């Protein structure tokens, strides 16, 4: 990087009055218009020159973005304008321990007062710390587009680094995480270079629950950050954990399957080789710790 | 003695942990820094056009579009400032002229009515550069095959202790030839040889560089800067502009962290250059964090090859030490860091036979500057590890090996200088005891390995032989004391220590002393620079002498008034007392108005002003071919560090359980501040050892932000960080004190590497000692699979 701008480039700030207007504006001005909520990524990337939007559309005031509620049937809904610190502080969010643990690992406390989970998802960074938890909890996105409201399951939402299924005019209003299985346990292991406020070299989201429908009597959801173009679900590892008696050997096999399936790259944070070994070792650690929790 | 009208204060504060003078204003945010100074609407903002090419010839610069942009007031290029500048070797210009030599080098600059307009104007400057083959490795750069970066090296002005090799990229070749290394190696029972690479790191002060410059109506130039060296900067600005020093005034307030990078001159020259053509309008230049990373002085990289041998009893007999310092595109402090790498090349060991080649090499990397430790972290990174390898190889207890070979008072060291008394043996003993070094302790879990490392260091202030200090002590009507100095408070606590010294020497309470700030070269007494861990010792001597001068004036005045001998008088707690007549008189008023003679027959005394200076007079030059001389440096501070760690074998992560650092500070003027320096130094050393590296690829820094240039946070601190000191008095230090500012970070790379080896049996020797590097090394060695 040889250009270091002292400030942000020029842009127009747009605060739409309603959803319809917002979607229309975004659709009409694609790709020059960009929605944002906390701005913790948007402003940094604009200063760096990666984003250069003519219009920044503030979605925080829009209907449905400020929701943070639990529903016994529908589960937990988190609006696009809800900063991570509020999610962590929301007592009912403790029913989703994996999400809380992951949210606490993002950046620093100060940043989490602005950063949002929806922002983390829409950025579609393979390193997003909270995405794995939302995938494990089978999250569904509530979206407003030019044709009105719609939903999209998070699984399959990511199409590449920074890319997702959203169309021009789509605004993600919130995410709903269905009622999680009773008695589940979760673990997010973030491997950073140092202990605080780093991006993940790898991030392991793991959720496990007793399940009589599988051979092993357990069902696991795994998602791995920073090892593939999109947040990665190691399906084969999940299958191994479902289909074999759950002992040390099975966990080793599953961890190895996860290691074999990931396709990380070398970057400034870590080499592909190191990442692959860390996937193996930390999937093993996460699953082992969950098993300890489930059998406690 | 009646002193009921005096506030209770701390008498005889030397040796006491008094509260810092600057603590309230800094903690509450009231302290003013350079960017806080208001300049009104006339202020212009400067931005810099920088090279995107590591090495190339400038074919064309077109600034016409930038000049035409509304709001742009000044555009300058290399044509405007042809003078060669440089702290030692004069090898650079303010802006690149015919050639660029690193990515980020200044080519042109703009001053405009806003930072945004200036930035736009920068984008409008057109530059054509024809790329040249570049040098990105110092060892290659020193070879005959390397393209020349400074073809004019032979013509550069240079002081007599720097030895460039014209026709090469070697800007300084410092040699040690002591004893007969070749013969001595033949007598060694064991010889260990290893090559180390220490990467470039950055200082990362919380306050990026900033300077504001303005030409006064009389043509004089005033510069406000975050600066560790206002007087050296004054000199450098004067040379850049081709005017005399008295035409320049530098005002330097508090500094938001320096660590060496705000010594010398980097971007400040740009503000001065722009202001010289702005028609009297002040011009502010401040760096972005990215610019702070890749355009500033760096801690230059080092490649070092060490070969050390000892006899069967563990006596180190010989060392061969070859160093290639990555001085970067031109040199500032780099050539002198190389010199320090040479005259310290034995480490704190008594080695009779040494051959050293310390070379500073031009490369197409950012320019090497001063960084806390001035080469000693890099040098000791290797020495500490090879000594550990030697001790292990001959099967000797590591502590015993260090004690057997550690330098002692009376030894003739690497440059032939007779060592002053040092308490290094005591430092080693204290570390070994506190860390239970001889006991192999159990890891906390089966997936973890525990290990301990130990190492010793030394460092002398690296500076010209005649670096001087001066101070003034004035007394006020209320008996309080104002001390003027030219050294800078950069967070290290020097103002507090100077107040302690002045109070002690004068005989008043610590609380009665204020240090005048900001340092202003028009009014403040001269100080060479706030670097080299030299202020407590050098400026401390000047302040002590100034306070003693003031004291002498006071005692003579009172002695005359009382008809006594000054030798019978003393100043205690703000009162002059006579040990003979038991009379006493408050300093109040008399130190300004004097004392009336009896019967209104005139007055005695008057405003009290004490002056003191200090400059070492005994440092000799070293022989160009052997590096030998009577006294290379003023003194050495020595110390020992030990670290107890665990390594997570599943990730390679290090957890530091306990760190113990013990240094011989001569005399702790303020014990808490000394301990804080030692603790903080360890943390900075740990951060650079584990996390920090400028990732330079073809001259481009790939991680110029805190996202990917990681520094330690409070969450990364050791569970225990123990700081201790011993006090072997320095003969010419105030109350025996010598410097401690830089030293505590210098052992950490080597000591940590030794601990890693002790824990997992694998030598991970090149920093950063990252989890990844440790894990992959364990994998390769079969420690994990």
**What confidence tens digit (pLDDT) does each residue in B247-265 have?**
999 999 999 999 999 998 9
Residue A4 lies in a domain: no
Last residue of a domain, one of B237, B270, B294: B294
Q: What is the pLDDT of residues B367-380, one digit of tens each?
A: 999 999 999 999 99
For B268-287, b where at least 16 C-beta lie within 10 A, e where not — what string?
bbbbbbbbbebeebbbbbbb
> Contacts of residue B102 in chain A, CB cutoff 8 Å?
none
Same domain, B91 and B232: yes
Residue A83: inside a domain, yes or no? Answer: yes
Give B104's contacts in chain A (Cβ within 8 Å): 2
Which stretches does DSSP call E strand in chain A?
12-14, 33-36, 55-58, 68-71, 75-79, 140-145, 148-153, 158-160, 163-164, 171-177, 185-191, 202-210, 218-225
Predicted local distance difference test score (pLDDT) of residue A296: 83
Quick check: helix, strand or coil at residue B270?
A: helix
How confident is the model at residue B6, as a pLDDT?
A: 47
Same structural domain, B477 and B557? yes
Classify residue B751: in a domain, yes or no: yes
Which of B53, B650, B656 is best to mutate for the A interface (most A CBs within 10 A)? B650
Same domain membership, residue B72 and residue B212 = yes
Query: Is it the case that residue B727 has pLDDT exceeding 60?
Result: yes
Whether B358 is in a domain gets the answer no
Whether residues B682 and B773 share a domain: the answer is yes
What's the rounded Cα separation, in Å, for the pair A232 and A257? 13
Range of the domain at A239: 189-295
Q: Which of B47, B290, B713 sits opposite A194 (nearest CB)?
A: B713
What was the pLDDT predicted at B2? 40
C-alpha to C-alpha distance for B501 and B543, rounded to whole angstroms: 7
A84 located within any domain: yes
pLDDT at B4: 42
DSSP string, B212-261: EEEE-TTS-EEEEE--S-HHHHHHHHHHHHT--GGGEEEEE-B-S--TTT
Strand pairing partners for A188?
A: A205
Task: Write the secondary structure of B97-159 as one string of H (helix), E (strand) and C (coil).
Answer: CCEECCCCCEEEEEEECCHHHHHHHHHHCEEEEEECCCCCCHHHHCCCCCCCCCCCHHHCCCC
Q: Per the domain annotation, does A58 fall within a domain? A: no
The CA distance from A216 to the nearest CA of chain B, in Å, is 26
> Per the domain annotation, does A60 fall within a domain?
no
Considering only the beta carbons, identify the residue of A5, A7, A281 that sits closest to B651.
A281
A260 and A175 in a single domain? The answer is no
Q: What is the pLDDT of residue B239?
A: 86
Q: Do B665 and B586 share a structural domain?
A: no
* Closest by Cα among B505, B498, B494 to B228: B494
Tally of CB atoms within 10 A around B44: 30
Helix (H, G, I), strand (E, B) or coil at B268: helix
Q: Say yes or no: A208 and A74 in one domain.
A: no
Instruction: Tell me: do A237 and A131 sit in the same domain.
Output: no
Kindly calculate the radius of gyration of chain A based on its CA atoms and give it in whole angstroms: 19
- Phi, psi of B649, rounded to the nearest 5 degrees: -75, -10
pLDDT attached to residue A3: 56
Residue B196 DSSP class: E
For residue B618, CA distances in Å to B415, B465, B543, B635, B636 come to 15, 8, 20, 11, 15
* Cβ count near B705 (within 10 Å): 16
Chain A positions in Cβ-Cβ contact with residue B771 (cut-off 8 Å): 191, 193
Does B473 lie in the same domain as B459? no
Q: Give residue A2's pLDDT.
A: 46
DSSP state of B417: P
| Shortest CA gap B251–chain A (Å) | 25
Alpha-carbon gap, residue B147 to A210, rounded angstroms: 68
Residue B442 and residue B482 share a domain: no
Residue appearing with tokens 């081709």: B242
B536: closest CA of chain A, how far (Å): 35
The span from the CA of B737 to the CA of B747, in Å, is: 21
What residues are paired with A94 via a beta bridge?
Answer: none
Q: pLDDT tens for residues B694-726? A: 999 999 999 999 999 999 999 999 999 999 999
- Could you read off the pLDDT of B265-316 as tens digits, one per residue? 999 999 999 999 999 999 999 999 999 999 999 999 999 999 999 999 999 9
**Following DSSP, what letter does each residue of A142-158 receive, concatenated?**
EEEETTEEEEEESTT-E
Residue B412 belongs to a domain: yes
pLDDT at A1: 44
Distance from CA of A50 to the nearest CA of B (A): 15
Residues making up chain A, counted from first to last: 296
Note whether residue B553 is domain-resident: yes
CATH number at residue B79: 3.90.1170.50
Within 10 A of B780 (CB to CB), how many other CB atoms are there? 10
Residue A116 sits in the same domain as residue A247: no
> Using a CB-CB distance cutoff of 8 angstroms, which residues of chain A are in contact with residue B651?
191, 278, 281-282
Please indicate, yes or no, if residue B367 is contained in any of the structural domains.
no
* Segment (H or E) for B760: helix B748-760
Helix (H) or strand (E) holding B172: strand B170-178
**pLDDT tens, chain A, 296 aa long:** 445 678 888 999 999 999 999 999 999 999 999 999 999 999 999 998 889 999 999 999 999 999 999 999 999 999 999 999 999 999 999 999 999 999 999 999 999 999 999 999 999 999 999 999 999 999 999 999 999 999 999 999 999 999 999 999 999 999 999 999 999 999 999 999 999 989 999 999 999 999 999 999 999 999 999 999 999 999 999 999 999 999 999 999 999 999 999 999 999 999 999 999 999 999 999 999 999 999 98
What stretches of B578-695 show up as alpha helix (H) in DSSP?
A: 590-593, 671-690
Question: Using CB atoms, which residue from B691, B772, B776 is nearest to A194?
Answer: B691
* Domain end position, chosen among B294, B316, B348: B294
List the structure tokens of B678: 């030692």
Query: Which residue carries 């159990």 as its tokens?
Result: B442
Same domain, A175 and A244: no
- The residue ranking higher by pLDDT, B6 or B360, is B360
A224: in domain: yes
CB contact under 8 A, A6 and B779: no
Q: Assess whether B593 and B483 both reside in one domain.
A: yes
Do both A245 and A123 map to the same domain? no
Given the structure tokens 């502080």, which residue do they identify?
A89
The CATH number for A121's domain is 3.30.465.10
Same domain, A89 and A142: yes
pLDDT tens figures, B564-603: 999 999 999 999 999 999 999 999 999 999 999 988 899 9
Q: Are B361 and B279 in contact (CB under 8 A)?
A: no
A204 in contact with chain B, both atoms CB, cutoff 8 A: no
- The answer as to whether B655 is a domain residue is yes
Q: Taking chain B, what is the end-to-end CA distance rounded to the nearest angstrom? A: 78
Name which of B104, B651, B707 is nearest A191 (Cβ-Cβ): B651
- The per-residue pLDDT for A4 is 64
A103 to chain B, closest Cα gap in Å: 18
CA distance A32 to chain B (A): 21
Q: Are residues A15 and A162 in the same domain?
A: yes
Considering the domain boundaries, does residue A139 fall inside one? yes
Name the minimum distance, in Å, from the CA of B289 to any CA of chain A.
Answer: 8
Distance of residue B347 Cα from the nearest chain A Cα, in angstroms: 31
**Judgement on whether residues A194 and A82 belong to the same structural domain of the protein:** no
The CATH number of whichever domain residue B534 belongs to comes to 3.30.365.10
Task: Report how far residue B10's alpha carbon sits from residue B440's, in angstroms, rounded to the nearest whole number.
Answer: 46
Interface list for chain B against chain A, based on CB atoms closer than 8 Å? 47, 50-52, 103-104, 115-116, 119, 286, 288-291, 294, 650-651, 690-691, 695, 700-704, 707-708, 710-716, 770-772, 775-776, 779
Q: Which site among A7, A49, A194, A267 would you substitute to test the B interface, given the most B Cβ atoms closer than 10 Å to its Cβ? A: A194
In a domain, residue B11? The reply is: no
Instruction: Provide the number of structural domains found in chain A.
Output: 2
Return the closest-CA partner of residue B461 out of B556, B588, B340, B311: B340
Q: Do the domain assignments include residue A77?
A: yes
**Radius of gyration (C-alpha) of chain B in whole angstroms:** 27
Domain span including residue B78: 34-132+208-255+262-294
Look at phi and psi of residue B617 and say left if phi exceeds 0, alpha if psi is from -120 to 50, else beta. Answer: alpha
- Same domain, yes or no, for A48 and A148? yes
Which residues in chain A are contacts of B291 at CB distance < 8 A? 4
Residue B782: Cβ within 10 Å count: 9
> What percentage of chain B carries pLDDT values higher than 70?
99
Residue A46, chain B, CB below 8 Å: the answer is no
Contacting residues of A for B770, CB less than 8 Å apart: 193
Contacts of B715 in chain A (CB under 8 A): 194-196
> How many residues in chain B?
785
Which residues lie below 8 Å from residue B639, measured CB to CB, with a gap of 6+? B424, B427, B456, B457, B458, B661, B662, B663, B664, B743, B744, B747
Q: At which of A149, A180, A211 does a domain end?
A: A180
The count of structural domains within chain B is: 3
Pair B76, B109: CB distance under 8 Å = yes
Decide if B772 and A197 are in contact by the 8 Å CB cutoff: no
What is the rounded (10 degree) CA torsion for A272, A276, A278, A281? -170
B445 and B494 fall within a common domain: no
Give B37 to chain A, closest Cα distance, Å.
19
Contact B330, B266 (CB under 8 A): no
Would the CB atoms of B290 and A191 count as touching at under 8 Å? no
Inter-chain CB proximity B700 and A1 less than 8 Å: yes
Q: Do you find a cis peptide bond into B746, omega within 30 degrees of 0?
A: no
Please tell me if residue A256 touches chain B, with a CB cutoff of 8 Å: no
* Residue A117: both structure tokens together: 């989970």
Residues of B in contact with A5 (CB under 8 A): 119, 288
| B519 burial via Cβ count (<10 Å: 0-12, 13-18, 19+) | buried
**Cβ–Cβ pairs < 8 A, chains A and B:** 75
- A6 closest CB neighbour out of B119, B651, B691: B119
- Do A197 and A284 share a domain, yes or no? yes
For residues B628 and B416, the answer to whether their CB atoms sit within 8 Å is yes
Question: Quick check: is B290 in a domain?
Answer: yes
Torsion sign (Cα): A262, A264, A270, A272:
positive
Q: Where are the beta strands (DSSP E) in B538-636?
A: 569-572, 575-578, 584-586, 595-596, 603-604, 609-614
Which one of A180, A203, A231 terminates a domain?
A: A180
| Residue B3 clears pLDDT 50, i.e. is over it | no
Domain boundary among A154, A180, A206: A180
pLDDT per position as a tens digit, B58-70: 999 999 999 999 9
> Could you tell me if B528 and B419 lie in one domain?
no
CATH code, domain carrying A255:
3.30.390.50
Q: Are the C-beta atoms of residues A155 and A69 closer than 8 Å to each other?
A: no
B496 and B552 co-located in one domain: yes
Nearest CA in chain B to A282: B650
Q: Are B314 and B348 in contact (CB under 8 A)?
A: no
Angle formed at CA B59 by CA B53 and CA B65, multiple of 5 degrees: 90
Contacts of B286 in chain A (CB under 8 A): 6
**Do A204 and A159 have their domain in common?**
no
Query: Within an 8 Å CB–CB cutoff, is residue A271 touching chain B?
Result: yes
Question: Is residue B431 domain-shared with residue B512, that is, in the same domain?
Answer: no
Which of A1, A270, A283 to mutate to test binding with chain B, by most B CBs within 10 Å of its CB? A1
Distance from CA of B115 to the nearest CA of A (A): 8
Angle between helices B424-434 and B398-405 (to 10 degrees): 170
Query: CA B326 to CA B198: how far, in whole Å?
Result: 10
Are residues B408 and B728 in contact, defined by beta-carbon separation less than 8 angstroms? no
Q: What is the mean pLDDT of residues B773-777?
A: 98
pLDDT value at position B87? 87
All residues of chain A having their beta carbon less than 8 Å from the beta carbon of residue B115 are 6-7
Question: Do A285 and B650 lie within an 8 Å CB cutoff?
Answer: yes
């Amino acid at each position: 990087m040889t250009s270091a701008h002292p400030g942000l480039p020029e842009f127009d700030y747009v605060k739409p009055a309603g959803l319809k207007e917002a979607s229309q504006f975004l659709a009409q001005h694609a790709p020059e218009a960009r929605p944002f909520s906390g701005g913790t990524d948007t402003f940094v990337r604009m200063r760096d020159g990666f984003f250069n939007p003519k219009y920044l559309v503030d979605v925080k005031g829009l209907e449905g973005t400020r929701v943070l509620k639990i529903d016994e049937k529908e589960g937990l809904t988190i609006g696009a304008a809800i900063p991570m610190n509020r999610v962590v502080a929301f007592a009912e969010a403790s029913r989703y321990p994996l999400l809380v643990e992951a949210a606490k690992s993002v950046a620093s406390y100060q940043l989490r007062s602005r950063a949002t989970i929806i922002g983390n998802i829409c950025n579609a960074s393979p390193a997003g710390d909270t995405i794995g938890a939302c995938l494990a909890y089978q999250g569904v996105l509530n979206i407003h587009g030019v044709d009105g409201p719609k939903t999209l399951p998070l699984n399959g939402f990511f199409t590449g680094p920074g890319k997702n299924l959203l169309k021009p005019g789509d605004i993600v209003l919130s995410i709903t995480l269905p009622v999680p299985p009773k008695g589940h346990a979760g673990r997010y292991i973030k491997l950073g270079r140092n202990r605080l406020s780093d991006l993940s070299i790898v991030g392991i989201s793991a959720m496990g629950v007793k399940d009589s429908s599988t051979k092993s009597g357990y069902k696991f959801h795994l998602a791995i950050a920073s090892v593939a173009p999109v947040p990665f679900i190691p399906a084969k590892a999940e299958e191994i954990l479902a289909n074999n008696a759950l002992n040390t050997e099975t966990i080793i096999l599953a961890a190895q399957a996860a290691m074999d399936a990931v396709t990380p790259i070398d970057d400034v944070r870590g080499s592909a080789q190191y990442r692959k070994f860390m996937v193996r070792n930390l999937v093993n650690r996460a699953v082992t710790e969950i098993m300890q929790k489930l059998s406690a | 003695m009646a002193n009921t009208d005096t506030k209770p204060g701390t008498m005889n504060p030397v040796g006491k942990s008094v509260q810092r003078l600057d603590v309230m204003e800094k903690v509450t945010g009231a302290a003013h820094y350079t960017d806080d100074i208001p300049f009104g609407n006339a202020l212009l903002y400067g931005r810099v056009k920088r090279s995107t090419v590591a090495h190339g010839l400038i074919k064309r610069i077109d600034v016409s579009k930038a000049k035409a942009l509304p709001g742009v007031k000044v555009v300058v290029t290399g044509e405007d400032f042809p003078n060669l500048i440089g702290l030692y070797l004069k090898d650079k210009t303010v802006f690149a002229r015919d050639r660029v030599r690193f990515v980020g080098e200044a080519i042109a600059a703009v001053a405009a009515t806003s930072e945004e307009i200036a930035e736009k104007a920068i984008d409008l400057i057109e530059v054509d550069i024809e790329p040249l083959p570049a040098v990105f490795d110092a060892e290659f750069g020193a070879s005959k095959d390397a393209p020349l970066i400074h073809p004019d090296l032979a013509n550069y002005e240079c002081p007599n202790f720097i030895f460039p090799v014209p026709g090469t990229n070697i800007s300084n070749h410092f040699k040690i030839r002591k004893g007969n290394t070749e013969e001595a190696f033949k007598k060694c029972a064991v010889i260990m040889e290893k090559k180390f690479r220490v990467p470039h790191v950055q200082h990362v002060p919380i306050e990026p560089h900033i300077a504001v410059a303005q030409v006064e109506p009389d043509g004089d130039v005033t510069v406000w800067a975050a600066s560790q060296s206002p007087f050296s900067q004054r000199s450098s600005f004067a040379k850049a502009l081709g005017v005399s020093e008295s035409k320049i005034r530098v005002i330097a307030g508090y500094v938001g962290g320096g660590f060496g990078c705000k010594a010398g001159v980097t971007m400040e020259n740009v503000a001065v250059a722009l202001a010289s053509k702005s028609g009297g309008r002040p011009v502010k230049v401040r760096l972005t964090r990215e610019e702070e990373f890749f355009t500033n002085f760096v801690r230059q990289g080092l490649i070092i090859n060490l070969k050390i041998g000892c006899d069967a009893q563990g006596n180190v007999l010989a060392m061969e030490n070859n160093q290639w310092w990555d001085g970067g595109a031109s040199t500032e402090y780099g050539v002198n860091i190389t010199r320090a790498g040479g005259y310290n090349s034995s480490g704190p060991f008594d080695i009779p036979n040494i051959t050293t080649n310390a070379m500073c090499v031009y490369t197409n990397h950012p320019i090497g500057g001063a960084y806390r430790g001035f080469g000693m972290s890099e040098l000791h990174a290797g020495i500490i590890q090879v000594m550990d390898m030697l001790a292990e190889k001959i099967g000797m207890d590591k502590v015993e090996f260090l004690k057997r070979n550690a330098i002692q008072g009376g030894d003739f060291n690497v440059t032939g200088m007779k060592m002053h008394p040092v308490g290094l043996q005591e430092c080693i003993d204290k570390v070994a005891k506190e860390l239970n070094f001889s006991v192999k302790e159990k890891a906390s879990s089966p997936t973890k390995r525990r290990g301990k490392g130990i190492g010793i260091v030394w460092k002398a202030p690296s500076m010209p032989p005649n670096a001087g200090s001066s101070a003034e002590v004035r007394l006020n009507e209320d008996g309080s004391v104002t001390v003027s100095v030219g050294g800078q408070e950069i967070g290290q606590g020097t103002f507090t220590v100077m107040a302690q010294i002045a109070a002690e020497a004068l005989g008043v309470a610590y609380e009665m002393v204020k240090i005048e700030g900001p340092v202003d070269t028009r009014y403040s007494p001269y100080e060479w620079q706030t670097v080299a861990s030299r202020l407590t010792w050098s400026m401390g001597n000047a302040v002590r002498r100034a306070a003693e001068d003031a004291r002498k004036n006071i005692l003579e005045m009172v002695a005359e008034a009382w008809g006594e001998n000054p030798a019978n008088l003393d100043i205690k707690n703000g009162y002059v007392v006579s040990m003979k007549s038991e009379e006493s008189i408050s300093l109040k008023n008399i130190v300004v108005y004097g004392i009336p003679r009896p019967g209104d027959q005139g007055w005695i005394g008057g405003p009290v002003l004490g002056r003191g200076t200090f400059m070492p007079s005994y440092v000799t030059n070293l022989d160009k071919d052997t590096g030998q001389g009577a006294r290379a440096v003023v003194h050495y501070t020595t110390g020992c560090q030990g670290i107890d760690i665990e390594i997570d074998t599943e990730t390679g992560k290090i957890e530091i359980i306990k760190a113990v650092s013990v240094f011989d500070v001569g005399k702790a003027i303020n014990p808490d501040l000394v301990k804080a320096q030692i603790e903080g130094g360890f943390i900075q050393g740990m951060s650079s050892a584990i996390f920090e590296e400028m990732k330079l690829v073809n001259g481009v820094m790939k991680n110029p932000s805190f996202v990917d240039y990681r520094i330690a946070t409070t969450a990364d601190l050791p569970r225990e960080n123990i700081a201790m000191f011993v006090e072997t008095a320095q003969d010419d230090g105030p109350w025996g004190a010598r410097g401690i500012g830089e030293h505590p970070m210098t052992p950490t790379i080597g000591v940590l590497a030794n601990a890693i080896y002790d824990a997992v049996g694998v030598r991970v020797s090149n920093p950063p000692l990252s989890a990844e590097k440790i894990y992959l090394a364990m994998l390769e060695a079969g420690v994990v699979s």
